[in-house]
Amino acid sequence: MKKLNVTTALIPILLLTLVMPSAFAAVLPSGDEIAHNINARDEGLSVSRTVLMEMTDKRGKQRIRKTRGFRKYFGDEKRTAIYYLTPKNIKDTAFMTYDYADASVDDDQWLYLPAMRKVRRISASDRGDYFLGTDFTYEEIKQETRVSIEDYSRKTIGKEIIDGHSTFIAESIPVDKKTAKELGHSKVTQWIDAEIWMIRKAEFDSLRGKPLKTIYTREIKQVQEIWTAHLLEVKNHKTGHTTKFIFSEVDYQTPISDDLFTERALRRGL
């Protein structure tokens, strides 16, 4: 047998080593491609669902809200309405947002507070504020399982198996300091399911670069052939507070009246 020359044997390995990173990178979609795939995922023209919001502080004290939520596309414009059913002290509180396709146009948002019996216009620019005592921001409530294309620059940094599912890991940095301040974080690292383009996990860093919160998307099942998360769980690392959104009675097919997305509907409630 001819003795193998060590140098000759190493050349292919070295070549392979040099080629592998670029070859591996070639199979990873770019951050923007992933974002577009996430947003291209079918989420139905409209949906209605019941959302149980469980909020637990670091001492274990729990508050529970039951809501009924509706979302509907009017062309490129997305309208969302959330009606509180329980507990008694905030029953009939309602929130509505109009999200316009033109990103340069601010969303319009309204809040109905039953104690005032008035629908109040609220500013949509503080999208990093937490939504009605939860650990989700107004922006996250609006985006649901989608992402904002124009707010971030993105890169894909790897792949990982999460809960038995293959995911791409994407790092998103707000495009500028103003956007970061509005959103309330300096970086988001997301684990995106490589098959169904659903974000399974997202870690947020605070404006100071410290761990802020982690969102888990769980119990992803098909409803009327649309992949649907039935549990969103967020843990705030700064406060120890956690919020769970548990979805049920999800319906993409029953028509939703346009009138549900009006001020008078907000006042009247469900």
Binding mask 59-78 for another protein (x = CB under 8 A): --x-xx--------------
**Greatest C-alpha distance within the chain:** 92
Please tell me the distance from the alpha carbon of residue 65 to that of residue 8, in angstroms, as a whole number: 69
Binding segment for another protein among 26-34, 102-110, 147-155, 167-175 (CB under 8 A)? 102-110
Contact call for residue 207 and another protein (CB under 8 A): no
Cβ burial of 80 (10 Å; 0-12, 13-18, 19+) is: buried
CA–CA dist 239, 128 (Å, integer): 16
Q: Of 166-195, which residues contact another protein (CB under 8 A)?
A: 184
Q: Which of 118, 210, 221, 238 binds another protein (CB under 8 A)?
A: 118
Q: Tell whether residue 117 is a contact of another protein (CB under 8 A).
A: yes
Angle at 159 between CA 153 and CA 160, to 5 degrees: 125
- Mention every residue, 6+ apart, whose C-beta is less than 8 A from residue 80: 69, 70, 71, 96, 97, 99, 141, 142, 261
Stretch that binds another protein, among 5-13, 42-50, 222-230, 256-264 (CB under 8 A): 256-264
Instruction: Based on the shown chain and the rule CB under 8 A, indicate whether residue 235 belongs to the binding site for another protein.
Output: no
Provide the binding-site residues for another protein, judged by CB under 8 A: 55, 57, 61, 63-64, 87-89, 91, 106, 108-110, 115-126, 128-130, 132-135, 184, 239, 241, 259, 262-264, 268
